[in-house]
Structure 1
Amino acid sequence: MAEPATQSPYISSSAGGGSSEPGAASTQPGGRDSKGAGASSCAVHDLVYWQDVKKTGVVFGTTLIVLLSLAAFSVISVLSYLILALLSVTISFRIYKSVIQAVQKSEEGHPFKAYLDLDVALSSEAFHNYVNAAMVHVNRALKLIIRLFLVEDLVDSLKLAVVMWLLTYVGAIFNGITLLILGELLIFSVPVVYEKYKTQIDHYVGIARDQIKSVVAKIQAKLPGVVKKKPE
C-alpha cells in the first residue's frame, strides 16, 4: 500500500487542491492567465452579442469606418488622418481647458492628468506570457502546414486544394479589404441571428453535415492509398 505522503501531491494536483500542496504554487501563474483569457473572451462575447449596445456600436462603427477608409485610401493616408483627428480633439480640448482655467483663475491643472499618471508599462512577466501564448498557436499552425503540404492525410490535403481553388474565384471578385468588411458585418450579425433562430439553424446544419460526411466517405473509399484517420 502506498503511503499517504506519496499520494497527496498527485491527488491535490489532479483535484485542484489548496495552495499548501507543492504543486499548487506552480499552477497559479497559469490560473491567472486562464482568468485573463476568460475575461477577454467574455468581453468579446459581450461585444459580438450586443450586450452593451453603446459599446458595441462604437467598436463596430469605428472599425467599419476604418475599413471603408482603407478601401478608398491608402494605409498611410488613413493612419495620418486618424492621428490628425485624434490630435485635433486632444489639442482643442487642452486649449479650451487652459482658457477656462485662465478666465476662472482655477487651479485644476492638466485635463489629462489622470490618464498621464496611469501605468501603461508592460511588465516582463506579462510580455513573456503573451509570447508563450502566441508561440503555442504558431507551433500548432506550423505542424498543420507541414501535415497538409507534405500530404500526411490525402483527404485533408485535397480539402485544402479545393478551398484554395475556390478562393481564387473569390479573390477575382473581392479584394482583401472587401473581405474584411464582409467579415466584420458577419461577425456582428450572424451570432445574434443564430442565437435567435438556433433550433432551425442547427437542424439544417445537421442535415448538411450528414450529406457532406456521406460524400467525403464515398470519395475516400474510391481513392487509392488513402491514409485513413485514426478514431479519436
Structure 2
Amino acid sequence: MSDHKPESLMEKITEKFKDESSSSSSSDSDDDNKISEMKSKVFRLFGREKPVHKVFGGGKPADLLLWKDKKVSGAILGGFTIIWLLFEVLEYNLLTLVCHSLILTLAILFVWSSASTFIKKSPPKFPEVSIPEKLVMEVVSDLRIQINRGLATIHDIATGKDWKKFLSVVVGLFFVSIIGDDLNFLTLVYILVVLLFSVPVIYEKYEDKIDPLAEKVWIEIKKQYTVFDAKVLSKIPRSMKELKEKKKL
C-alpha cells in the first residue's frame, strides 16, 4: 500500500490563497512599474524630474517661495510692497527714509532704556547682530561663479566664436532695453519678486493642468525654431574661421 496521504482540505485552501496572493502581488508590482513609467513619460515644464520644492533647492528659500510658512512669505512680500509704494508712489528718497528710520528706532530704544531705570525694571536686552563669515563666503562664491559664466559668454561673443549666441544675447538685451524705457529698476525688481512669490506656488498647485498646455506650446516653439534655424541660423557661419572658409570657396 502507498504511504502517500491525501492533502487535507485546509492545506488545499492554504495553497490556493498563497497562489492568489503571489499572483496579486506580481500584478500589483507590474501596475506600479507601469504607473512609474507613465509618470516618467509625462511632460514636465522645463524638463524637470523633481518636485517643484526640490527644484528651488528644497530648503528655506523654497519654503518661502512656495508659501509653506504663510506668515513669513506674506511679511517678505508685504515688505517689498511697502518699499515699492514708498519710493515709487510716494516718491520717498532712500537716504531720507534710512535716516528717519534710524532716528525713530534710536529714539524709541533710548527712551525705553532710560525709562526702565525710573520704573525699576530691567532694561531691554539687545541681541548682538553680526553677519556670519560662512554666509558671506557662500554668497560671494555663488556670485563669483555667475560672474565668471557671464564673462565667459562675453568672451565667446567678443572673439566671434558663436554667431547664434551673439544674436540671442543682442535680442535679449534689446528686449531688456525696451522694458527699461517703461519701467525703472525698482519697479522691475518688485515685479520679479511678485512673480517669484506667485508663479511657483500657482504652478505647484495646478501643475497637472499647466504641464499639458506647456507641452503644446513647447512643441509649437520647437517647430517654429526648426523653421527659423533652417532658413536663417543654419546659413550664418558660427565663427570667423567658417566665414573665411566660405569666402575662399
Q: TM-score, normalised by structure 2?
A: 0.61
- In 1, distance between residues paired with 2:136 and 2:77? 28
Show the counterpart of 1:209.
218
Equivalent positions of 1:58-73 (< 5 A) are 58-72=75-89
- Structure 2, unmatched stretches of 5+, are 1-55, 240-249
Structure 1 residue 54 displacement after superposition: 1.5
- In 2, distance between residues paired with 1:156 and 1:203? 30
- In 2, distance between residues paired with 1:219 and 1:40? 35
Structure 1 residue 126 displacement after superposition: 6.1
- Structure 1, unmatched stretches of 5+, are 1-38
- In 1, distance between residues paired with 2:179 and 2:135? 40
- One-letter identity of the residue aligned with 1:152: K
Show the counterpart of 1:131.
140
Show the counterpart of 1:44.
61
Distance change (3 Å), C-alpha of 1:40 and 1:199 = closer
Equivalent pair of 1:67/1:180 in contact (CA under 8 Å)? no
Show the counterpart of 2:100.
84
Structure possessing the higher radius of gyration over alpha carbons: 2
1:155 aligns with 2:183: no
Residue 60 of structure 1 aligns to a residue whose secondary structure is helix
- 184, 200, 204: which is aligned to 1:191? 200
Between the two proteins, the alignment pairs up a number of residues equal to 183
Show the counterpart of 1:54.
71
Residue 59 of structure 2 aligns to a residue whose secondary structure is helix
- One-letter identity of the residue aligned with 2:79: T
- One-letter identity of the residue aligned with 1:218: V
Show the counterpart of 1:9.
none
Distance change (3 Å), C-alpha of 1:126 and 1:178 = closer
1:112 aligns with 2:121: no
Equivalent positions of 1:26-45 (< 5 A) are 42-45=59-62
- In 1, distance between residues paired with 2:70 and 2:135? 31
Structure 1 residue 151 displacement after superposition: 4.2
- In 2, distance between residues paired with 1:60 and 1:69? 14
- In 2, distance between residues paired with 1:40 and 1:212? 28
Q: Which has the higher contact order (CA 8 A, sep 6+)?
A: 2
Structure 1 residue 128 displacement after superposition: 4.8
* Aligned-residue identity in percent: 23
- In 2, distance between residues paired with 1:72 and 1:213? 42
Residue 67 of structure 2 aligns to a residue whose secondary structure is coil
1:140 aligns with 2:149: yes
Q: Deviations over 1:170-193 (max 9, x none)?
A: 233323222222222211111121
Residue 200 of structure 1 aligns to a residue whose secondary structure is helix
Q: TM-score, normalised by structure 1?
A: 0.65
- In 1, distance between residues paired with 2:91 and 2:135? 34
